[in-house]
Amino acid sequence: MKSFFSKKINTVLSLILVAVSVLIVLQTFITAGTLSAGENEKAVPASNINPRLDEIMAGEGIVLTTTKPVETTQKPTDAKKKKETTSPTTSKPSTAPTTTQAATIPFATAIPPKSPPDYNAQWNAGYLVAIDNPDLTYECAQVTLTDEDRDLLERLCMGEFGSGGFVGAALIAQAVKDAMCFDGYPTVESVIKNCRYTGRTDIGTNDTCKQAVRYIFDENHDAVQHRIMYMYNPLLVQSTFHESQNYILTYGDVRFFDRWGY
């Protein structure tokens, strides 16, 4: 009798184990199916990084070597901030409210290039990473930070992507600037709240993050020639929402996206 029940228990346990295994396989399949936008895209190779990155980080700035006009959907205005810098600027501490100049382009249209992307043109314009899908209509407004916003943003860059070095921090800083430019958020705190940033801001920052914020905001450069509105790390969380957006690039383990259309 005891042997009979032992066999029955073993059979039941075996069936339970098989059922659990099937569920795990199904869950893995379903989860994998949620990734769609650029799911096979790997992190940008080192060859895409601006070859003058060391000079940029050293504060030597970017000198434009091309005068090719940027395609726009509106006529440029005097308020437009051109991407022309010859040497880094040193800004005095500001106590005035964070301000954003009026954008000359209402939204990035994400028009695909008609010809193969020109990496040199992207690098010469000050972009840190050359991408295969640049948006030639992209242009963000100039944003002037208060001391409070600057400090918070520097800590946010550290908390969100401190492991990404200068480029990673610059990508986060650009995403914040794009949110302020295109969605009209008046402060870094409002971006964190409304865009649901989860990176810690209580662990301090470092000089690399400070450099990245200066490059993106004070010198009015961008990390990539494309609007960035969302990002997430698929190693930490699966996100159907992010993967439904306009995939731009992967840097390190972090995937960056634009919105579709506006």
Question: Cα(114)–Cα(110) distance, rounded to whole angstroms?
Answer: 12
Helix (H) or strand (E) holding 231: strand 230-232
Radius of gyration of the chain (CA): 23
Question: Cα(211)–Cα(56) distance, rounded to whole angstroms?
Answer: 9
State pTM to two decimals.
Answer: 0.70
pLDDT band at 238 (very low <50, low <70, confident <90, very high): confident
Task: Give the pLDDT confidence score for residue 27 in this predicted structure.
Answer: 54
Least confident of 5-9, 64-68, 210-214: 64-68
Question: Cα(18)–Cα(24) distance, rounded to whole angstroms?
Answer: 10
Query: What is the share, in percent, of the chain residues with pLDDT greater than 70?
Result: 67
Task: Give the pLDDT confidence score for residue 68 in this predicted structure.
Answer: 33
Among 50-59, 85-94, 102-111, name the most confident range. 50-59
pLDDT at 122 over 80: yes
Across the range 72-78, mean pLDDT stands at: 34
Question: Cα(53)–Cα(98) distance, rounded to whole angstroms?
Answer: 28
Q: Where are the domains of the chain?
A: 1-33, 43-258
Across the range 150-165, mean pLDDT stands at: 96
Mean per-residue pLDDT of the chain: 78
Question: For residue 72, which of 86, 57, 82 has the smallest C-alpha distance?
Answer: 82
pLDDT band at 11 (very low <50, low <70, confident <90, very high): confident
